[in-house]
A and B are shown apart, each in its own frame.
Chain A
Amino acid sequence: MYYVDLAFNGLVFGCMYALMAVGLTLVYGLLRILHIAHAAVYAFGAYVAVIVANATGGIVFGVIAAMAAAAVLGIVIYRFLYEPLLSYPPYIPMIASIGLLVFMEDGFRIAFGEQGLTFARNPYPTQLHEFLGLTVNTVQIAIVIAATVCLLLLASFTTRTRIGIGWRATVSDPRIAESFGVDAIKVRHLNFAIGSALAGLAGALIGLLNNFVEPTMGFVVSYKALAIIVVGGLGSLRGTLIASLALGLVESYGTIFVGRFLDRDAIAFLFLIAVLIARPRGLAGIKAA
C-alpha cells in the first residue's frame, strides 16, 4: 500500500511535470530554443488564476483565465524576444530567456509581495476521496485528469486535424512544410499558445494544490522541466511524457530512499545525467538535427 501511495504521488508529480514539459518540448522542437522563461509563464498562470478566482469567486474562471492569459504571454514572448533572435546561436535566446524569468519573478515579488497569495475560498485540497485504498484530494485528481485530457487532445490534434498535421510537418522540416503552403508564423504562434496555455494550467493547478502562489514558484520547476525534455529526447512528445512520469516516480521513491545522501534536486539531476550518459540522445533516441 505504501508503495502504491508513493507511486500515486509520483504519478501526480509526473502529470504536473508533463504539462510543463510539453510546452518546452514544443518550443524546442520547432525553434531549437531552450525556453527557460516558460517557468515564468507557469507562475504567471498561477497568479492570474488566484487573482481572478479571488475577484470573481469562481475558481474555474481563474483557471480558464490563467490558460488564456498564459497563451497570450507565450505569443508575446515569442514575438518580442525570440523571433528577432532566431538567426543567432541558440544560447543567445536562452540567456535572454533566463533574463526574462529573473525579471518576471522579481516583478511578481514587487507587484504582489514576497509573502505570496492564497486563494480566498479553496476547499479542494482538503476534499478527500477514498480510491482503491488511497486517500487522494480533489486537486490531485484534477491534475491527473487535466494532464491526460490535454495530452490526448494534443495528440489527436496533431494527428487528425489539418492544422495539427501542418504543425508537425513544420517541426520536422520547415522549408518543405512551407512549400506545401503551411504558414510557418501561424504554426509558431500556435505552438507557443498551446504550450504556454498548458503551463498556465499547470501553474493554476499547483497553486490550487498548495493553496499558495509565490514569486519563485517557477524557478523550482523550470530546470526540472529542462531536464525532462533533454532526457525525453529534445523535440519528442512521447519521450517527454515518458520522462515526466519517470522523473515523478524517481523523485517520489528517491527522496525516501536516497534522501540521506542527496537532496531532491540532486536526485533528479543525477537521474538525468545517468540517462544521458547511457543514451546520449535521450530516451526516445530521436536525432534532433
Chain B
Amino acid sequence: MLRHRSRCFAMRAQFQRWCALATVSAAMALAAPAQAQIKIGFQAPLTGPAATDGVSARIAAEIARDKINAGGGVLDQKIELVTYDDQAKTEEAVFTANKLIGQDGVKFAVSGSYSASGRAAAPIFQRAGVPFISAYGVHPDITRAGNYCFRGVHLGPPQGRAGAKFVSDNLKLKRVSIITMDNDYGQATFEGFKSVLDQFGIKVAGEYTYSLKDRQFGSIVASVKRDDPEVIYITGYFFTAAPLVSQLRSAGIRAPIVGSQAFDAEKLIQIAGPAVEGVYIVGGLNRDRDAPELKQYLAEFQKRAGYAGENVGATVYSAVRLMADATSRAGTLDPAKVRDALAATHNFPHLAGELVSFNALREINMPMNVNVVKDGSFRHYAWIDDLKLLAPPTE
C-alpha cells in the first residue's frame, strides 16, 4: 500500500510542473503570426478511420483556396484556411468548432468531414452566426441546426431514390438484391431506395447488411447467389465495395451491379481490377464534363495527392468556392449577408454539375450523375435530372 501523504505531496509537485509546462506550450502554440484576411474554418478527419477522405478533403480545399487567391481573392482580400483535424469524432468536432470561432475568429466555415462531426459542429456555428457548409456529410439534422447551415451534397434518401429510378427506368430491371453498409450513410440511402419501390415497380429479392470493417462477404455472396436477382444495389466505400464486388463476380454472379456515391474512388478500380468493369455508380463524379474548371481541378488534385480526384474532394472544393462566391455576391464580409447570398444561390457551377438552388432547408436542388466503370476508368453514363424525385425535405 502506498503512503498517501507523501504521495499526495509528490503528486502535487509533479502536477504543478505539468501545469507549468502545459501553459508555456499553450502560449507557444497560440502565438501564431497574423496573416491573410478572410479566414475560413475547415474541419476534416485527417487522422482516424476516415482519414482517406479527410486527406482528400484537405487537398481539395487547399486547391480551392489557391485558385481563389490566384484570381485576386474575394473582395480584394486573400482567403486563409484554418484547418483542424476532427478525427470524425463528435467531441473533436465540438472542440475544433469552438476553437475556430473563439480563438481563430473565423467568419465562415466548411466541414470536409463525415456526418457525425458535421452534426455536432453545425449548432455551434449556427449559434455563432457563422455560415457553414457541410461539403459531403449527410446527417439530416445538419441543416436543421439552423438557417446558417447548408449542405453541398445530396442526402442519403435522394441518392437512394435516384438509384431506384436508375435501376427501373435506365436499366429496366425489376428484381433487386440490396446490400447495405450499416452506417448512417448506408442506412439513409437504403431507406430512400426502399421508399420508392412501389413507384418503380421494383421487387426485393433479398436484403443484407454488412459492417464498415468487413472485407470478406462470403455469406452475403452465397445468399445473393441463391436469390439470383436481376440487379444488385450496393452502398459502400471503396474499401468495402472493392472486395464485395470482387467476391460477387468470383462467385459467378453476372447480374449488373449498381453502387452508391461512395464507390467513386480510383482505389476501387485499383483493388478490384476487372471485377468492377461495368459497375454503375449513382452519384459519382462526372469527370467527362466539358468544364475547364473541372479539368484543371482533376489535374491539380492528381499532382498534389498522387491519386485521382473523386467525389469527396470535388464536393469540398466546390463548397469552398461556393462560400467565396457567396461572399463576392454579398459584396460584404457581414456573415448575415453572406448567409443570404448563399441561400439565394442560383445555378452555381459545382464541380459535380449545376447546383440549381438551395431549397428552404438549404439542401441542394441538383441533378445527379451516374457513372459506369469502363476500361478501368469512371465514365459518365447518364444524368438523373428528375429534380422532383431528388427533392430533399424542406424542414
Report A-B touching, CB under 8 Å: yes
CB-contacts of A121-167 with B (<8 A): 125-126, 128, 135, 137
Contact present for A115 and B273 (CB under 8 Å): no
Tell me if B267 and A126 are in contact (CB < 8 A): no
State which residues 93-113 of A face B: CB under 8 Å. Answer: 109
Q: Is A265 part of the contact surface with B, judged by Cβ < 8 Å?
A: yes
Which residue in chain B gives the minimum CB-CB distance to A257? B219
B252 touches A128 (CB 8 A): yes
Please tell me if the beta carbons of B52 and A114 are within 8 angstroms of each other in the complex: yes
What is the CA–CA distance of A208 and B215 in the complex, to the nearest angstrom?
A: 12
The contact of B226 among A2, A8, A115, A264, by CB within 8 Å, is A2
Contact B218 A6 (CB under 8 A): yes
Of residues 302 through 325 on chain B, the ones whose CB sits less than 8 Å from some CB of chain A are 307
By a CB distance below 8 angstroms, the chain A residues around B271 are 118, 210-212
Which candidate, B84-92, B124-132, B206-214, B358-366, is the interface stretch facing chain A? B206-214
A287 within 8 A of B: no
1/0 contact string of A8-33 vs chain B (CB within 8 Å): 11101100000000000000000000
**Contact B208–A259 (Cβ < 8 Å):** yes
> Are B216 and A13 in touch, CB under 8 angstroms?
yes
A256 at the interface (CB under 8 A from B): yes
The complex places the Cα of A128 from the Cα of B252 at a distance, in Å, of: 9
Question: Would you give the shortest CB distance from B14 to chain A, in whole angstroms?
Answer: 21
Q: Contact: B182 with A209, CB < 8 Å?
A: no
User: With A128-B250, A211-B246, A212-B242 in contact, is A256–B219 under 8 Å at CB?
Assistant: yes
Chain B residues contacting A255 (CB-CB under 8 Å) are 210, 219-220
Instruction: Say how far B267's CB is from chain A's closest CB, in angstroms.
Output: 6
Separation of A162 and B218 alpha carbons in the complex (Å): 41
* Across-interface contacts of B55 in A (CB, < 8 A): 114
A125 to B248: give the CA distance in the assembly, Å: 11
Among residues of B, the one whose C-beta sits closest to the C-beta of A220 is B213
Q: Is the CB of A263 within 8 A of B211?
A: yes
B337 at the interface (CB under 8 A from A): no
Q: Are A135 and B250 in contact (CB under 8 A)?
A: yes
Q: Which residues in B have their C-beta under 8 angstroms from that of A212?
A: 215, 239, 242-243, 271
| Given known contacts A9-B218, A115-B267, A211-B271, A125 and B246 CB-to-CB distance under 8 angstroms | yes
Q: A216-B49, A252-B218 are in contact. Are A260 and B209 (CB under 8 A)?
A: yes
Chain B 94-118 interface residues, beta-carbon cutoff 8 Å to A: none
Q: A212-B271, A256-B208 are in contact. Are A9 and B243 (CB under 8 A)?
A: no
- Contact status B210-A118, CB under 8 Å: no
Taking the complex as formed, is A5 at the interface, i.e. its CB lies under 8 A from any CB of chain B? Answer: yes
Question: Quick check: B223 and A256 within 8 Å, CB to CB?
Answer: yes
Minimal Cβ-Cβ distance residue in B for A264: B211
Is A116 positioned at the interface, with any CB of B under 8 Å from its CB?
Answer: yes
A280 to chain B, nearest CB (A): 29
Q: With a CB–CB cut-off of 8 A, which chain B residues contact A13?
A: 216, 218
- Near A by CB (< 8 A), chain B positions 198-255 give 208-211, 213-216, 218-223, 225-226, 239, 242-243, 246, 249-252
Partner of B222, one of A6, A109, A209, A264: A6
Is the pair B219, A263 in contact by a Cβ cutoff of 8 Å?
no
The answer for the CA separation of A9 and B225 in the assembled complex, in Å, is 14
B223 and A265 within 8 A (CB): no
A126 and B275 contact, CB distance less than 8 A: yes
With most chain B CB atoms within 10 A of its CB, the pick from A10, A217, A253, A263 is: A263
Q: Find the B residue at minimum CB distance from A120.
A: B270
Interface centre among B55, B216, B223, B270 (most CB of A within 10 A): B216
Complexed CA–CA distance, A6 and B251 (Å):
12
Residues of A within 8 A of B272 (CB): 211
Q: How far does the alpha carbon of A125 sit from the alpha carbon of B225 in the complex, in Å?
A: 18
B51: interface (CB < 8 Å): yes
Residues on the A chain within 8 Å of B213, using CB = 220, 264-265
Any A CB within 8 A of the CB of B331: no
Known A13-B216, A256-B208; contact A137-B222, beta-carbon cutoff 8 A: no
> What 0/1 readout, one digit per residue, does chain A (191-230) give for beta carbons within 8 Å of chain B?
0000000000000001001111010110010000000000
7 more CB-based (< 8 A) A-B contacts, given A256-B220, A264-B214: A10-B218, A115-B267, A115-B307, A128-B250, A210-B216, A263-B182, A264-B210
Give the 8 A-B residue pairs with the shortest CB-CB distance, closest first.
A9-B218, A5-B222, A114-B51, A2-B226, A256-B219, A212-B271, A252-B219, A135-B252
B residues in contact (CB < 8 Å) with A: 49, 51-52, 55, 182, 208-211, 213-216, 218-223, 225-226, 239, 242-243, 246, 249-252, 267, 270-275, 307
- In the assembled complex, 12 residue pairs joining A and B whose CB atoms fall closer than 8 Å, in A order, are A2-B225, A6-B218, A126-B250, A126-B273, A211-B271, A212-B242, A220-B213, A253-B219, A255-B219, A259-B208, A259-B209, A264-B211
